[in-house]
Structure 1
Amino acid sequence: MSQKLNLGWLGAVALGVALSANAQEKPADFATQVPLSVSGEGPWYRLELPLAVQLNARQTDLSDVRVFNAAGEVQAYALAREIASTHESRALTDVKWFPLYNTADATERAPGIRVQSTANGTLVEVQPSSELEAGEEVLRGWLLDASGIKAPLQQLNLDWTSERDGFQRFSIEASDDLQHWQSWGEGQVARLTFADERVEQHDVGLPGQSARYLRLLWNSSQSAPTLTSAQLESATTRSLPLPLVWSHPLAGTSVKAGEYSWQLPMGLNVERVQVELSQSNSLAPVTLYGRRESSLPWQSLSSGLLYRLTQNGQDVVQNELQLSGQTVQQLKLVVDDRGGGFGAQAPTLKFAVRSTQVVFLARGAGPYTLALGNSTVKAANLPLSTLVPDYSAANFATLGKASVEGAAVVSSTSTLTAAATTDTNWKKFGLWAVLLLSVLFLAAMAFSLLRKPPVKP
């Protein structure tokens, strides 16, 4: 009996060894392989995963991403997606606004002003640098006092009197001393009447930087409206979100009038979509739906007003919708046909996802290879704090960098699939051989024990 137990234990050990050997992953197990180049000080390297490469994955959560060294040994790695989630506290603050006047024929863009402020920089009074005669003054813009807000400014919200409907476009400038101004781009708000309904846009995105004062200037040919409210939304964040990565234009289909659909290459956590508006003077309220597969019902993801309008010889375009990052593979846009729609042919669509970085610990000699494209492997990524023991947001930027070599992804699906199939067949043959030998060995030992005469007492 003791011999049988020992033999069974040896057989189990042999089987475990065989299974362990067969479970070792190799580059040939993955449909796509991309050579990497590294720079900077290791041994940790971070790779910003290009979207074109990411779309070769077979699993939505990128569980099939691997990094190998020159010897084909898998490297420990982490997916740095957790730093994209922001932990922030937002605050909406009413701010004071002061008019900026100038003469109608003034050549300078920004009116000269004289200010009176308190010791902490809060504005008390703003006046033109020179006295303007009655009838000459034109309202060119507004000066906003944000000196009481210490957090980065994320959004501007404006309201104005009802006699100025339509689009309001203006430049945004920021300053800390009222002497030196930095451009923050342009802003646009609108109040429209459409099909007996009012559509209003009051919010303008800001770059997420701090400033004590904001200056809003309308075009010289257009006077500014009279503001009735000005609010600034600020946010304090522990980490900044990763930038978005945009896809190439994706062709769509139209099953019936006013409905357009697109099939994404794989399930993706989509953050934004951009719809092509090729025709001028297009205007339509839309609702965007999404789902992971055809057997599931459509779910509403976002809605808004898309338009491409020509005013004063310039196109005013709003063609983006913001999503919550839900995983989808199919998108459907339903258009309110009261605005004329987008025509019978489906417009092209671009989608954006959060940038993902692969951080790996270089072990063994390079060159290193990124591999992905396997629907059966399990997730093998470590938490970033485990991979980099002293990890912090500050030292993340000091890690070495890895990049994809060349513009094209090196992909040989058919060859790799054939090699993987052949390798898998050999693995199966080896496993069955071990099992068969173990059974034969057990049978031989049992037969030998049965043939022995019983031991006499």
Structure 2
Amino acid sequence: MSRMLNLGWLALGVVMLAGAQEKPADFATQVPLAISGNGPWYRLDLPLSVQLQARQTDLSDLRVFNAAGEAQAYALARESAQTRDGGKLHEVKWFPLYNAADASERAPNVRVQSTTSGTLVEVQPSSQLEAGEEVLRGWLLDASAIKAPLQQLILDWTSERDGFQRFSIEASDDLQHWQPWGEGQVARLTFSDERIEQHEVALPGQSARYLRLLWDSPNSAPTLTSVQLKSSDPRNVPLPLVWSQEVAGSSSKAGEYTWQLPVGLNVERVQVEIRQSNSLAPVTLAGRRESSLPWQTLNSGLLYRLTQNAQDVVQNELQLYGQTVQQLKLTVDERGGGLGEQAPNLKYAVRATQVIFLARGDGPYSLAVGNPRVKTANLPLATLIPDFKPEKLATLGKATVQSEAVVTQTSTATTAAVAGTNWKKIGLWAVLLLSVVFLGAMAFSLLRKPPANT
């Protein structure tokens, strides 16, 4: 009897092992990888074009193989807007930057007084300006007390300055050498008896002791009433956003546009094409995972493309919070003129995904996705890399997709591979069932056998 049970467990083990022995041919899409740097662990920034080939939203069908077709141990570094650290807000000091009205240089020369720790005490023009000659060109922000990467700038200003405010952002650690951090735009508008305000500006997620804001439009800066900086934990800097190619939309009635995404994705931002200048559109964005579900409102806001001083001022993005959606619908309040009869194109952004794998066996290595039947196989990072710490990610070797051209198996080959695997599983399950039936018959026979006479 014990021997029969052992045979049954052996048959079950064979079935489970066969299920784990996946091969590249079991997956619809394969891409070659190139590795560099120090192993044996390698980190891959997964291109969105490859991610979209997956057949499972959570990337359970992702695998890494070596040259012999052996699956590699791997982990996924992912995050969602719901689980991400919201950051820490800091109140900071700000100092006006004045310059002469007829000055040729945009950045004012200033005299700075600071403490031994670098905290600013006073900022004054380098030369005395008389009343009527000075113009407020911008503001100098003291971030020396923040020992973390800066993610967002939040401004408020006096109410008499409505409209758009555009300015450049520069960063420095010594007040002598400045690095550009892009442009910022805030706004305070009135539309249909509603007040619409935009106070937040995204920063690149780097550290700096000082920030300098210099106004482009209008030429003089407004009087600030509040300045805040949001920082993130340096041990948990958010992964970057990756943007899709343009997706064509459709429209079934005026002022309503829909888009279909390739798969369900945790979308965090969308960008709507605004073709015509001087377009202003209050909008509401809704989403859902499939057509049978009701629409859920995701966000609302004001999209515009306005010409000011011979330049277009554009706000064409809406922020989401990482909900999984496959369909999007934009409803436009056409009192602002709308976005035109033709549905605009749309781009969407998702948080980047990193694949970390332990290279075993000989290369070249390849990444495979596209199998709706396989189960998840990724490990926690702490299991894959002993004594793992977030800062260790930057020291790992690097893997890259050799070509954006995705290598996809023909449908016939993929179907045959899946069919072959299914027949093998069916045969092994048949062996297991026969073993169980045989064991049951033996047990029944033993129970019916009369006891031996003593």
Normalised by the length of structure 1, the TM-score is 0.88
Matches within 5 A, 1:352-391: 352-391=349-388
**Matched-pair contact (CA < 8 Å) for 1:153–1:232:** no
2:55 counterpart (55, 58, 68): 58
In the alignment, the residues of structure 1 paired with residue 396 and residue 3 of structure 2 have an alpha-carbon distance, to the nearest angstrom, of: 51
Letter in 1 for 2:228: L
| Alignment correspondent of 1:143 | 140
Post-superposition CA distance 1:116-156 (Å, at most 9, x none): 44555444444333333443333322333444544444333
Post-superposition CA distance 1:167-225 (Å, at most 9, x none): 12222233344333332222222222222222222222233344443332224x84424
**Matched-pair contact (CA < 8 Å) for 2:98–2:134:** no
Structure 1 192/382 Cα, relative in aligned 2: closer, same or farther at 3 Å?
same
**Matched-pair contact (CA < 8 Å) for 2:152–2:231:** no
| Alignment correspondent of 1:233 | 229
Letter in 2 for 1:230: S
Letter in 2 for 1:111: P
1:20 counterpart (10, 16, 21): 16
| Alignment correspondent of 1:97 | 95
**Matched-pair contact (CA < 8 Å) for 2:158–2:225:** no
In the alignment, the residues of structure 2 paired with residue 58 and residue 274 of structure 1 have an alpha-carbon distance, to the nearest angstrom, of: 25
Find out whether 1:292 has 2:292 as its counterpart.
Answer: no
Percent sequence identity over aligned pairs? 65
With 157-166 and 400-409 compared, the bigger mean Cα shift is at 157-166
What SS is found at the alignment partner of 1:350?
strand
Letter in 1 for 2:195: R
Find out whether 1:333 has 2:330 as its counterpart.
Answer: yes
**Matched-pair contact (CA < 8 Å) for 2:74–2:384:** yes
Q: CA RMSD in A?
A: 3.1
Post-superposition CA distance 1:242-266 (Å, at most 9, x none): 1111111011111211111111111
**Matched-pair contact (CA < 8 Å) for 1:8–1:442:** no
| Alignment correspondent of 2:259 | 262
Letter in 2 for 1:165: D
What SS is found at the alignment partner of 2:282?
strand
Gaps of 5+ in 2: none
Structure 1 123/52 Cα, relative in aligned 2: closer, same or farther at 3 Å?
closer
Structure 1 residue 442, shift from structure 2 partner: 9.1
With 324-333 and 127-136 compared, the bigger mean Cα shift is at 127-136
Find out whether 1:422 has 2:420 as its counterpart.
Answer: yes
**Matched-pair contact (CA < 8 Å) for 1:284–1:339:** yes
Structure 1 59/160 Cα, relative in aligned 2: closer, same or farther at 3 Å?
same
**Matched-pair contact (CA < 8 Å) for 1:292–1:330:** yes
What SS is found at the alignment partner of 1:23?
helix
Structure 1 residue 381, shift from structure 2 partner: 0.9
Post-superposition CA distance 1:57-115 (Å, at most 9, x none): 1111111111222222222111122599644641231524324131x322122223334
Letter in 1 for 2:99: Y
Structure 1 417/223 Cα, relative in aligned 2: closer, same or farther at 3 Å?
same
Find out whether 1:190 has 2:187 as its counterpart.
Answer: yes
Letter in 2 for 1:306: L
**Matched-pair contact (CA < 8 Å) for 1:98–1:144:** no
What SS is found at the alignment partner of 1:178?
coil
Letter in 1 for 2:422: T
Post-superposition CA distance 1:17-46 (Å, at most 9, x none): 442343133222222222222222222222
In the alignment, the residues of structure 2 paired with residue 365 and residue 339 of structure 1 have an alpha-carbon distance, to the nearest angstrom, of: 61
Aligned pairs, number: 450
Structure 1 residue 352, shift from structure 2 partner: 0.9
**Matched-pair contact (CA < 8 Å) for 1:142–1:216:** yes
With 233-242 and 420-429 compared, the bigger mean Cα shift is at 420-429
Structure 1 129/41 Cα, relative in aligned 2: closer, same or farther at 3 Å?
closer
In the alignment, the residues of structure 2 paired with residue 429 and residue 49 of structure 1 have an alpha-carbon distance, to the nearest angstrom, of: 37
**Matched-pair contact (CA < 8 Å) for 1:257–1:344:** yes
Letter in 1 for 2:419: T
**Matched-pair contact (CA < 8 Å) for 1:308–1:317:** yes
Post-superposition CA distance 1:257-308 (Å, at most 9, x none): 1111111111111111111111111111111111111122211212211111
Gaps of 5+ in 1: none
In the alignment, the residues of structure 2 paired with residue 368 and residue 263 of structure 1 have an alpha-carbon distance, to the nearest angstrom, of: 33
Structure 1 14/262 Cα, relative in aligned 2: closer, same or farther at 3 Å?
same
Structure 1 437/390 Cα, relative in aligned 2: closer, same or farther at 3 Å?
closer
1:160 counterpart (144, 157, 161): 157
In the alignment, the residues of structure 2 paired with residue 148 and residue 398 of structure 1 have an alpha-carbon distance, to the nearest angstrom, of: 28
**Matched-pair contact (CA < 8 Å) for 1:47–1:401:** yes
**Matched-pair contact (CA < 8 Å) for 2:5–2:439:** no
Find out whether 1:399 has 2:399 as its counterpart.
Answer: no
Matches within 5 A, 1:171-320: 171-219=168-216, 222-237=218-233, 238-320=235-317
Structure 1 189/66 Cα, relative in aligned 2: closer, same or farther at 3 Å?
same
In the alignment, the residues of structure 2 paired with residue 152 and residue 442 of structure 1 have an alpha-carbon distance, to the nearest angstrom, of: 66
Letter in 1 for 2:26: D
**Matched-pair contact (CA < 8 Å) for 2:19–2:425:** no
Structure 1 107/65 Cα, relative in aligned 2: closer, same or farther at 3 Å?
same
What SS is found at the alignment partner of 1:397?
helix
Find out whether 1:111 has 2:82 as its counterpart.
Answer: no
In the alignment, the residues of structure 1 paired with residue 6 and residue 197 of structure 2 have an alpha-carbon distance, to the nearest angstrom, of: 77
**Matched-pair contact (CA < 8 Å) for 1:174–1:181:** yes
In the alignment, the residues of structure 1 paired with residue 420 and residue 175 of structure 2 have an alpha-carbon distance, to the nearest angstrom, of: 72
Letter in 2 for 1:234: K
In the alignment, the residues of structure 2 paired with residue 431 and residue 343 of structure 1 have an alpha-carbon distance, to the nearest angstrom, of: 60
In the alignment, the residues of structure 1 paired with residue 452 and residue 442 of structure 2 have an alpha-carbon distance, to the nearest angstrom, of: 20
Letter in 2 for 1:348: N
